[in-house]
Amino acid sequence: MRPVTAALWVAAMLVGLQQSALSINIITDRSSKNLSSVPRDLPETVQSVDLSCNHIQQLKRSDFDNTPLLTFLNISWNILEEINPEIFLNTPHLQELDLSHNRLKSLSSQLYLLHTENLRVLNLNHNKFLTMTLGSEFSSLIKLERLALGAKNISIGDLKHIANVKLHTLSLFLEDELVYEGGSLIDGHAQRLQIAFTNSTQIANCNLITDALSQFDEVELMNLTGGYYEFGEQLRQRKEIHSSIIYLTGIHITWKNLTEFVNVALGTTISHLNASDVTLREMPQSDTDVAKMSKMKSFTVRRVEVKEFIFSQEAVYNFFINMPIESLAIMETPIIHMTCPESQSPIHKLDFSNCALSDSIFSSAEPDSRILECKHLGNLRKLILVGNNLKSLQLLSKRVQFMRSLQQLDLSLNSLVYDGLTKCEWPLNITKMILSSNSLTDTVFNCLPTGTETLDLQNNQISVVPSIIFKLDKLLSLNLNANRMRDLPVCNGFPILSELLLKSNSLHAPTISKLESCPKLKVLDVSLNPFTCICAIRPFRSLGIISEKETSHTGVDLLNWPHDYYCSYPDAVRDSTLKDFSISEVNCNVGLLAAVILCPAVIVIIGVMTLCHHLDVLWYMRMIWQWTRAKHRARRRHVRPEDLVGVEFHAFVSYSQQDADWVHNSLLPNLQGPAGGLRICHHEKHFVPGKTIIENIISCVEKCRRSVFVLSAHFVKSEWCHYELYFASHQRLSQGSDNIVLVLLEPLPQYFIPSKYYQLKSMMKRHTYLEWPQDRAKHRLFWANLRAALQADLPNAPAEELEE
């Protein structure tokens, strides 16, 4: 058994075991359990029961009364001698029954078959039947498709009770010393007759072969080890052979017998010759002649085992490749090369699946190291090289370049690569390319026949279809399943593509706009991809929903929608179908999202600004901020006692005489006395008579911790106010303290201030000043800010000040 076949068999068994574990009430396997009777605990829902390889001698009436759903029953390899006629009375669904390799004695008394009208497969070979005389109960098996029998004697009329049963396969397992009466198979109507030999010499003079070739469309001879010459002579002597297909299964044969038999068959009316599980001996050392003419259409051989190591492989290859037939298949056989026909071959189809062929196939090396390509397969239309050791796609193109009629090429399950450096040389008529399960990458699109209509590239390593490729103007179907594609391809190189398959790739959010380059696309499969269910997936989801609802013949049909389209990210929607996933337009449309957020925000802002303007909130906030800063500075500033030596007042107020009313009526009452608690110095009260004005200004500024300037249009016109501002700013610079407070009694534009007041302009730009509000409701906050700016712990006031 080949490794691939073994692996598939093991996988199938594992799957079968898993299914059995999941559905134990449907399938019951009690084989090889040393049972002497049918178990009484069979589940009522069981459909398949295997009781083979036990010691059951008798089937009783009630053995299967509790299994009404039974469809398959295997009791082979037991010691059965007796079966109750009513045992299957309660199993109306029974379809397959295997009673082979037991001790049943008469084919004419199998009365239990009267209750198996739905039976399709019945196996009774290798029992103790002396004759093959079938009882009348066999006539009730009108649905029977496969019947296997065996007996020592076969006579005319033995099969008359199945004359009206149209079988697919009739199997005869011949016993030793078989006695066969010619014409005994005339009542057996089947498409295929299988004859399993135990003694191959029987074929020499057995009329059974003659009847088989005269009556059945297909004849299969199994387990032959000899008699090939006699069989060949029977074929040679017959002018007409009814059978069109001959199968040779499980045979042992020499190379000479095989080639002679094949040459005989080539001269008969047999259309197809098939051999499988062949063991070859006595292999050739030189070429063997093959018939030049033939009516045969195909020759197929599977699983050939050669028992010798030293022989001419080229002689073997030459015999097969030069056969005058339309179809040649050598499969699951470890051939490493195939030669080129000696002359132009009539072969239309070659199938070398699961062999061991290399890139040198069909070529030959000359003594001067030149490689000769095959030019004698000009009639070949279909070439199948599945599962070999092919590695270079470019070399394969050279091997088939002269096959002018080649239309279909299957190179799947190889190790093909293409480096993109050397030009490929395909014949022009290839329309179908199968390159699945190789190691091809994006470069493969530059090594394809330009006339390709169907391209299968599934299970490769393709991540993107290059934008610059050879244009495939005739490509209709592109299969990229199980690759590494990250997005939909652009169809610039495939203008009439109608089918695109991208199942099981790495597509997260397919770009639907790329389909605009595929105007002829009708079928699209993007199932089983790791879709990311975010905003980018919405256009593709819409395509699926439209495809599901589409009733016209236009648009794209999204295969397997919606069941095989799942979200893989984010985790919150993992395993949800794309159809069930939804996300609002607001979350995905940036403009709409901005409008939804900004419009209410703008409305709120405008409303707040309007309200603030109406309530003068900004002014209150500015006043509170100034008051807070004043308090904060007062807490942070650490005034040393020596800094307050000679300081008698909290502030010196400088103002224009035209603003005296406001100072006396508003400013002083809110800063001095019980209301303010501050000591204020101003010229009307504290200038000393006899001193010059300049001396008084300097004296007052030095005795005050801060200087308050009441700014107005009158202030900037006063020369004395200018002197007071000058001396106060000079003190600020000399002491390094911020001792000036500006009170803006009325709006004072910069252009209204004379240029000589450059210090005032600079202060108003750098310092925050207090504005006198016209609204009486704001006065309390104004006075609180001003008092906070002037507040300080001063030494005791002079006596005269206290007396006042």
Residue located via tokens 């337009």: 585
Q: Are 78 and 54 in contact (CB under 8 A)?
A: yes
What is the share, in percent, of the chain residues with pLDDT greater than 70?
86
Instruction: Tell me how far apart the alpha carbons of residues 168 and 569 are, in angstroms, rounded to a whole number.
Output: 53
CA 637 to chain centre: 72
Q: How many CB atoms lie within 10 A of CB 232?
A: 18
**Which of 15-29, 232-246, 739-753 shows the lowest per-residue confidence on average (mean pLDDT)?**
15-29
Paired with 302 in beta bridges are: 276, 331
Give pLDDT tens digits for 293-343.
Answer: 998 999 999 999 998 889 999 999 999 999 999 999 999 999 999 999 999
Taking 3-state DSSP, the helix, strand and coil percentages for the chain, each rounded to the nearest 5, stand at: 35, 20, 50
Cβ-Cβ contacts under 8 Å for 678 (sequence gap 6 or more): 650, 651, 671, 672, 787, 790, 791
What's the chain's average pLDDT? Answer: 85
Token representation of residue 531: 């879709």
CA–CA dist 191, 242 (Å, integer) = 11
Q: From residue 44, give the alpha-carbon distance in Å to each of 24, 52, 457.
A: 11, 20, 48
**What's 62's DSSP letter?**
T
What is the pLDDT averaged over residues 571-576?
Answer: 85
Place of tokens 């999941």: 22
pLDDT over 80 (residue 720):
no
pLDDT band per the 50, 70, 90 thresholds, residue 617: low
User: Cα–Cα distance between 75 and 56 in angstroms, integer?
Assistant: 8
Q: Is 197 exposed, middle or buried (0-12, 13-18, 19+ CB in 10 A)?
A: buried
Cα 483–485–487 angle (5° rounding)?
Answer: 155
- Confidence band, pLDDT 50/70/90 cuts, at residue 650: confident
Query: Containing H/E element for 800?
Result: helix 799-803
| Three-state secondary-structure class, residue 255 | helix
Tell me the mean pLDDT in the region 152-161. 92
Please give the distance of CA 128 from its chain centroid, rounded to a whole number.
Answer: 58
Q: Do 316 and 284 form a contact (C-beta atoms < 8 A)?
A: yes
Structure tokens that stand for 502 in this block: 């991208």
Q: How many CB atoms lie within 10 A of CB 217?
A: 13
Q: Could you tell me the pLDDT band of residue 624, with boundaries at 50, 70 and 90?
A: low
Over 80: is that where the pLDDT of 428 sits? Answer: yes
The closest of 653, 675, 636 to 742, measured between CA atoms, is 653
Is the pLDDT reported for residue 350 higher than 50? yes
Which amino acid would we find at residue 123? N
Residue 402 pLDDT exceeds 90: yes
pLDDT of residue 456: 97
Helix (H, G, I), strand (E, B) or coil at 735: helix
- Between CA 123 and CA 635 the distance in angstroms is 110
